[in-house]
Structure 1
Amino acid sequence: MVRVRYAPSPTGEIHIGNARTALFNYLFARHNKGTFILRLDDTDEKRSTKEAIDSMIRDITWLGLDWDEGYLKGGDFGPYRQKERLDIYNHYIDILLQNGFAYELYYTDEEVDSIREEYEKTLKTFSYRKLKENETEERRKSFKEKGLTPAIVFKVEENKEIVVHDLVRGDVVFNSNEFKDFVIRRSNGLPVYNYATVIDDALMKITHVIRAEEHLSNTPKQILIFEALNFSLPTFAHISLILAPDRTKLSKRHGATSLGQFREMGILPEAMFNFLALLGWSPKDNREFFTKEELIELFDLSNVNKAPAIFDFEKLKWMNHKYILDKDLKSLCSETLPYLKDAYNVLDCSERTLLILDAVRGNMNFTKDVVPLSKPFFERTLNSISETDLKALQDPHALKALKYVLNNLDSVEFTQDDIEKFLNSLKDVLQISGKKIYHPLRISLFYSRNGPELWKIFLILGKDEIKERLKEAISLISKSIQEE
């Protein structure tokens, strides 16, 4: 049975690359009817805060990644937080020491860092093994008397060829001389990533390790630990990096980079889910829009690309716009209601709220766009219209059109059909071109010549509000005529 994991270090918001890794693991598990596990690599006690963990859970839940086992859900292979597994790591450290695959190093982390810096200044090659050879009995005795804990170093066989069989990259060959001996437990008693992740993957029976390409260089070290402990190797799949459009590493200078930032920006979760799935993976056809169920059915690691994926924000915006257009109106209202509540004290998805949302969503790229786009329905801002729109109002025919609408409004039934019939009749009745009627009318009611269809504006504002706005516009026009 397929078992995969998402194992973030909860030290901040989830980067878009980590979110894509979690998504690929989720899709692979669901496609193969396997198990998707969430565990926390939280041994960095200073940075792994409760706030960071809560933020991570909130964001992956928002994205729609529901895990089967692990943190908050439990399972047969816990604990699922590394800081709760220290006894387990120490147990296997003892086995490695007993079998000669590791050795104790009686130097603190700070001392090792200082020695390494001195070596770099003199262009000498630093080696844990040489440091161990120069270690004195006095040092070991002093270390123990002070109650200090030795670091544990994994002993690497020299000139050993290590082959990573990778489902995305094929066979990748390393030589152990490229990295030599390496620390697996620091002198502070905490395991390092390369060691702890092996123990966790082995004991949690992870069958496939799907992660970012940047971890490929760690894999030969991990394979050596797997082999030393007689653990079965999982299958590896290293997915490409995500680059900015300028083909540099995606960073803050390119704009939003975390899942939380895109959520707050007003990206719909289903749009982000679809967009992330296509970063480095592609189906056999040229489709770009998929439901979650379709992605689960189609996802296969054989279609994951080796080349870096390019993060195209404009494409994400376009895709989000399409999802906004297609989303059920009540569901979209649930997404936008917090913004409307903060801006205009809209408390529920009433019929009027749904009408407003339907009227403006054609121009929405993000859910938060609902605030500026719907502002004319909540606030009168005729005095702040553009110079171009003001000139349209001052056209000699505008006053005639607005007065006619005001005087005949009570005869109109406020249904879509009747409003449209009334509006369509204006050209014939007034003998004025549509441009000279409808532009001033929309500017008077919506404060811009661009906006929703006029019948929708009428229906949303209602007769009383329309009358007040028409009177305001007529007054403005009359005043400008007098001034001339």
Structure 2
Amino acid sequence: MITVRFAPSPTGYIHIGNARTALFNWLHAKRRHGRFILRLDDTDSARSEPRFAEAIVEDLRWLGIVPDETVRQSDRFALYDAAAQKLKAAGLLYPCYETPDELERRRRLRLSRRLPPVYGREALKLSDADKAGLEGEGRQPHWRFLLPNFADDPFAPQSTVVEWDDLVRGPQQVDLASLSDPVLIRADGTWLYTLPSVVDDGDLGVTDVIRGDDHVTNTGVQLALFDALGLARPRFGHHNLLTDPTGAGLSKRTGAQSIRGLRAAGLEPMAVASMATLIGTSQPVKAFDSLRALAQTFEASSASRSAARYDQSELQALNRTILHELSYEDVEARLRTVGIEGPDAAPFWQMVRSNLERFEEVGEWWGILQNGPEQPVPFETDEDRAFATEAFAHVPEGDWDETVWKRWTDGVKAETGRKGRALFMPLRLALTGRRSGPELADLVALLGRERTLARRP
């Protein structure tokens, strides 16, 4: 069975770029009747917070993503310890004692000699007495994974190409000789991302890993780790990233375009999901009404190679499209939660939906329907106010149906000679207090004669 995972760190609110990764995985798996695992990468106890973990679950649910399983890395340290011991026993995880300043000086020295700025494995030359002396000085080791990029001599690395058929980008390769041995355990004993991720993927049976293309190099290292631990390699895919309009990357630290913020702004979840998924792909960016429908057409391989610029105005356009196409049955329960119900509710929604930017605006229009304009009517001229007052004297008697607006305005036109905007705008202002809005023919028919006459200036 196809099994994917989304692995955010609960150190902030997820943004639309993070949601893109979650959606790529969800759609890829569910189209193939697979499983979706939410893995909370909370090994960084100093920065991870329960409130952010709860928010991630809530935001995914709002988008329509409900995990088949949720795990927390903070509950799985025993697995990582066992894997580290296995690597140490095989001579593949070795202690290093350099300080950041020492490593930086070595990096600069290599660059000055026109050598690649990779770690030179100096720690492998330390004797047990050397290590004891350094620890006696108070130094604690960090631990590096010995990359399999040499034949017999680790100080003579040679080209070692790791290849895979990427689910998004096609054939990919990373030369391990161009990389430093990665640090897997910090000097304070905490885990970096690399080893726990590999152990979890193996233990949880993850078959497909889809993530941002900033992880391509990491994949070469992690494939070597899968092999070293005797774990089955999953298939990897790397999608393009989203940027803001300036081309800068999105970040949880800045809160840019967080899902929580987009929710608070009144955007529809499928507008956000459609945008997050389809932007920067070969598929047209259009609004889908459900993740199920989106999954039927979406392929991760449609993502382009270059980063995609996220455009808020395009998201707003998708939001309008979704709202304007929702039926009364789609929103009946939501309308009741804001007090919109009764015989007027269905025709009201049909009338007002095409004017909405956000669903929350229905409350404003419902108030106008029930109680009239919220503010004093801002007529452009005294003549317009006088015209509107006179026009209300010609409100028709008799049947009140969809023809009443035409009968009313035809009579006013005949009496006053006004037509076009000069006729309709003063009446719109009197009826709604706004310069734009629903079709007045629909509004007047729904208001009824008594509520219409009550709006005479």
Q: Same fold (TM over 0.5)?
A: yes
Gaps of 5+ in 1: 72-79, 339-345, 474-484
1:360–1:306: structure 2 CA closer, same or farther, 3 Å change rule?
A: same
Indicate how the Cα distance of structure 1 residues 364 and 251 shifts in structure 2: closer, same or farther if over 3 A, else same.
farther
Q: Say whether 1:62 aligns with 2:62.
A: yes
Q: CA deviation at 1:353?
A: 4.8
**Taking structure 1 as reference, are residues 451 and 250 closer, same or farther at Cα in structure 2, changes over 3 Å only?**
same
Counterpart mapping for 1:126-137 below 5 A? 127=119, 129-131=121-123, 133-134=125-126, 137=129
Give the aligned residue type for 1:96.
Answer: L
| Shift of residue 301, structure 1, vs aligned partner | 3.4
* Equivalent in the alignment of 1:241: 241
Task: Read off the aligned partner of 2:326 and give its amino acid letter.
Answer: K
Give the match for residue 81 of structure 1: 72
> TM-score scaled to structure 1, two decimals?
0.80
Name which structure has the greater RCO, CA cutoff 8 Å, separation 6+. Answer: 2
Task: Please identify which structure carries the higher helix content.
Answer: 1
Partner of 1:288: 286
**1:90 alignment partner in structure 2:** 81
Does the CA-based 8 Å contact 2:23-2:277 persist in structure 1? yes
Per-residue CA deviations over 1:404-446 (Å, capped at 9, x if unaligned) read: 33xx5xx444x53363464255247636344454332222121
Residue 430 of structure 1 aligns with which residue? 415
- Contact kept, 8 Å, 1:355 with 1:460, in 2: the verdict is yes
Aligned AA for 1:26? W
Match in the other structure for 1:300: 299
Matched residue type, 2:376: N
Corresponding residue to 2:393 among 396, 403, 407: 403
**Alignment length (residue pairs):** 440
Q: Which amino acid aligns with 2:356?
A: M
Amino acid in structure 2 at the alignment position of 1:113: P
Deviation at 1:195, TM superposition (A): 1.2
Contact 2:405 2:444 in 1 (8 A): no
The structure 1 segments of at least 4 consecutive aligned residues displaced by more than 6 Å after TM superposition are: 121-124, 251-255
Deviations 1:295-350 (A, max 9, x none): 22223334333233232322221121111011122533555677xxxxxxx53534
Q: 2:100 aligns with which of 93, 98, 113?
A: 113
Residues 168 and 306 in structure 1, CA contact (< 8 A), matched pair in contact too: no
Question: Which amino acid in structure 2 is aligned with residue 288 of structure 1?
Answer: K
Cα-to-partner distance string for 1:179-236 (whole Å, 9 max, x where unaligned): 2222111233222111111111112121111111011121111111111112221111
1:481 aligned partner: none
Q: Quick one: structure 1 residues 136 and 398, their matched pair in 2 at CA, closer, same or farther if it must change by over 3 Å? A: same
Q: 1:139 to 1:256 in 2, by over 3 A?
A: closer
CA contact (8 A) 2:9 2:41 kept: yes
Going from structure 1 to structure 2, the CA distance change for 1:185 and 1:251 (only over 3 Å counts) comes to: closer
Do 2:95 and 2:123's aligned partners in 1 also have CA atoms closer than 8 Å? Answer: no
SS state of the match for residue 191, structure 1? coil
| 1: CA distance, partners of 2:253 / 2:223 | 36
Q: Which moved more, 1:262-271 or 1:286-295?
A: 286-295
CA shift for structure 1 position 29 = 0.7
Residue 183 of structure 1 aligns with an amino acid whose one-letter code is: V
What SS is found at the alignment partner of 1:236? strand
Distance 1:230 1:188 in 2: 27
Separation in structure 2 between the aligned mates of residue 235 and residue 8 of structure 1, nearest angstrom: 19
User: 1:445 and 1:253, CA in 2 relative to 1: closer, same or farther beyond 3 A?
Assistant: farther
Q: SS where residue 55 of structure 2 aligns?
A: helix
Give the TM-score normalised by structure 2.
Answer: 0.84
Alignment of 1:307-322 (within 5 A): 307-322=306-321
RMSD across aligned C-alpha pairs, in angstroms? Answer: 3.3
Once the two structures are overlaid, the 10-residue window that deviates more, 50-59 or 419-428, is 419-428
Aligned residue runs from structure 1 range 175-190, under 5 A: 175-190=175-190
Tell me the distance in 2 between the aligned counterparts of 1:12 and 1:444. Answer: 48
Going from structure 1 to structure 2, the CA distance change for 1:444 and 1:424 (only over 3 Å counts) comes to: closer
Q: Which amino acid aligns with 1:85?
A: R
Evaluate the alpha carbon distance shift between residue 258 and residue 128 of structure 1 in structure 2; reply closer, same or farther with a 3 A threshold. Answer: farther
Residue equivalent to 1:392: 384
C-alpha spacing 1:334/1:120, structure 2 compared with 1 (3 Å)? farther
Q: CA deviation at 1:271?
A: 2.1
In 2, distance between residues paired with 1:253 and 1:130?
Answer: 36
C-alpha displacement of 1:14: 1.1
Gap change, CA 1:439 and 1:15, over 3 Å in 2: closer
Q: Is the 8 A contact 2:88 2:94 kept in 1?
A: yes
Deviation, 1:46, is 2.2
1:258 deviates by 1.7
Counterpart Cα distance in 2 of 1:190 and 1:240: 30
Which residue does 2:260 correspond to in 1? Answer: 260
Mapped contact 2:15–2:252 kept (Cα < 8 A)? no
Structure 2 CA distance for aligned equivalents of residues 241 and 337 of structure 1:
39
Cα distance between partner residues in 2 of 1:66 and 1:376: 38
**How far off its partner does 1:241 sit?**
1.5
The 5-angstrom pairing of residues 418-457 of structure 1 reads 419-420=404-405, 422-423=407-408, 425-427=410-412, 430=415, 432-435=417-420, 436-457=422-443
The 2-side partners of 1:448 and 1:171 are apart by 58
Cα deviation code 1:354-409 (max 9, x no counterpart): 554443322212223445555644464553515x3655224xx444322333xx5x
Task: Point out where structure 2 has 5 or more consecutive residues left out of the alignment.
Answer: 112-116, 150-156
Residue 48 in structure 1 maps to residue 34 in structure 2: no
Deviations 1:249-306 (A, max 9, x none): 35699995222222221211122222223123345xx683444333222233343332
Q: Structure 1 residues 256, 104: closer, same or farther in 2, change over 3 A?
A: closer
Tell me what 2:23 maps to: 23
Equivalent position SS for 1:416: coil
